C-alpha cells in the first residue's frame, strides 16, 4: 500500500511535469520516473522536492537586435511569474504540512526543527514576492531596453550573493534539527532520519551551483543587451 509520503512525492513530481516548459518537459518526466526506483519514502519525497528546480530553469531567448527586446521581455515576465506562483504555492503547502505535524511530535528537538522550517518557508515566500518582478511587458506596452536591463539585474541578484546564501542559512538548520530529533526519538531506527538529512544536504549542495548558473544566464542576457545597444547606437 502506498504511503502518504510516497503519494505526496508522486503528486509533486506529476505537477512538475505538467508545469515544466517544453524544453524541460523530458527532463521532468525522467526525474518523475526515478521516484519508482527509490525505496525510502522520505528519500523519494526529497527527490521530488529537488525536481522543483526544473521549474526555475529559465527558457533562454538570445536577442540579436533591439527589435527582439519586447518578445524576450514578454517571455521573461512569464518566466518570473511562473517562478513566483509555483514557488509561493510550494512554500505555503510545505508550511501547512509541517505545521500540521508539530502537534504529533513529542521530541522538543523535532518541534524546534519544524518551527525553524516554517520560518524558513515564510522567509523564502517573502523573497519570492519581493523579487516577483516589476516589469510589465505587453503587446500594447512593450518593455524598453532600460527597464528590461534593470529587471534582469534584479532577478540575477535573486540567484546569487546575499539573497542566495541567506536562503541556504535559514533552510539548513531547521531540517537538520528535525532529522536529529527523529534519530533521538527513535534511536533503534535512526536510518530514515539520516537518509533524509543526507538527501537534503545533497539537494542544497546541488542548488547552489544551479542558482549561480541561472544568475550567469541573466548576466549573459545583460551583456548581450549592452553589446547590441552599443552596436546600434
pLDDT in tens, 59-109: 555 677 888 888 888 888 888 888 888 889 989 998 998 888 888 887 899
Same domain, 124 and 174: yes
Angle (CA) 110-12-185 rounded to 5° is 15
> Tens-of-pLDDT digits for all 233 residues of the chain?
678 778 888 888 888 887 776 556 777 788 788 887 887 888 888 888 877 766 665 555 567 788 888 888 888 888 888 888 888 998 999 899 888 888 888 789 989 999 999 999 999 999 998 887 667 655 455 678 888 898 899 999 999 999 999 998 998 999 999 889 888 888 888 788 888 888 888 888 888 998 998 899 889 989 989 998 888 86
Give the end of a domain, one of 32, 57, 82.
Answer: 57
Same domain, 113 and 194: yes
Structure confidence at residue 125 (pLDDT): 92
What phi-psi label fits residue 59: left (phi over 0), alpha (psi between -120 and 50 degrees) or beta? beta
b/e string for 13-48 if b means 16 or more Cβ within 10 A?
bebbbebbbeebeebbeebbeebeebebbbbbbbbb
pLDDT value of position 160 = 93
Cβ atoms of 20 and 57 closer than 8 Å: no
Domain co-membership, 119 together with 216: yes
Based on the fold, state whether residues 158 and 93 are members of the same structural domain: yes
Clarify whether residues 17 and 122 are in a common domain: no
Let me know whether 111 and 190 are in one domain. Answer: yes
Range of the domain at 142: 64-232
Q: Work out the end-to-end distance of the chain between its first and last CA atoms, rounded to an integer number of angstroms.
A: 66
- Same-domain check for residues 223 and 199: yes
Q: What is the pTM of this model?
A: 0.67
Q: How many domains does the chain have?
A: 2
Are 96 and 202 in the same domain?
yes
Are 2 and 41 in contact by the 8 Å Cβ rule? The answer is: no
Amino acid at each position: 500500500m502506498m504511503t502518504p509520503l510516497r503519494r505526496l512525492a508522486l503528486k509533486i513530481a506529476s505537477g512538475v511535469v505538467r508545469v515544466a516548459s517544453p524544453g524541460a518537459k523530458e527532463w521532468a518526466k525522467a526525474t518523475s520516473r526515478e521516484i519508482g526506483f527509490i525505496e525510502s519514502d522520505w528519500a523519494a519525497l526529497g527527490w521530488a522536492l529537488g525536481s522543483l528546480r526544473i521549474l526555475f530553469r529559465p527558457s533562454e531567448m538570445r536577442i540579436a537586435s533591439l527589435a527582439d527586446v519586447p518578445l524576450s521581455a514578454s517571455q521573461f515576465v512569464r518566466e518570473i511569474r511562473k517562478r513566483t506562483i509555483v514557488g509561493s504555492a510550494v512554500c505555503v503547502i510545505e508550511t501547512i504540512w509541517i505545521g500540521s505535524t508539530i502537534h504529533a511530535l513529542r521530541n522538543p528537538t523535532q518541534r524546534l526543527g519544524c518551527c525553524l522550517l516554517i520560518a524558513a518557508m515564510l522567509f523564502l515566500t517573502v523573497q519570492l514576492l519581493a523579487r516577483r518582478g516589476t516589469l510589465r511587458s505587453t503587446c500594447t506596452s512593450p518593455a524598453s531596453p532600460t527597464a528590461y536591463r534593470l529587471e534582469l539585474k534584479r532577478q540575477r541578484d535573486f540567484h546569487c550573493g546575499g539573497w542566495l546564501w541567506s536562503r541556504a542559512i535559514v533552510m539548513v538548520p531547521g531540517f537538520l534539527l528535525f532529522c536529529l530529533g527523529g534519530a533521538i526519538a527513535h534511536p533503534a531506527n535512526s536510518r530514515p532520519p539520516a537518509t533524509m538529512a543526507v538527501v537534503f544536504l545533497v539537494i542544497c549542495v546541488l542548488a547552489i551551483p544551479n542558482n549561480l548558473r541561472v544568475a550567469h544566464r541573466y548576466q549573459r542576457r545583460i551583456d548581450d543587451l549592452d553589446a547590441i545597444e552599443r552596436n546600434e547606437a
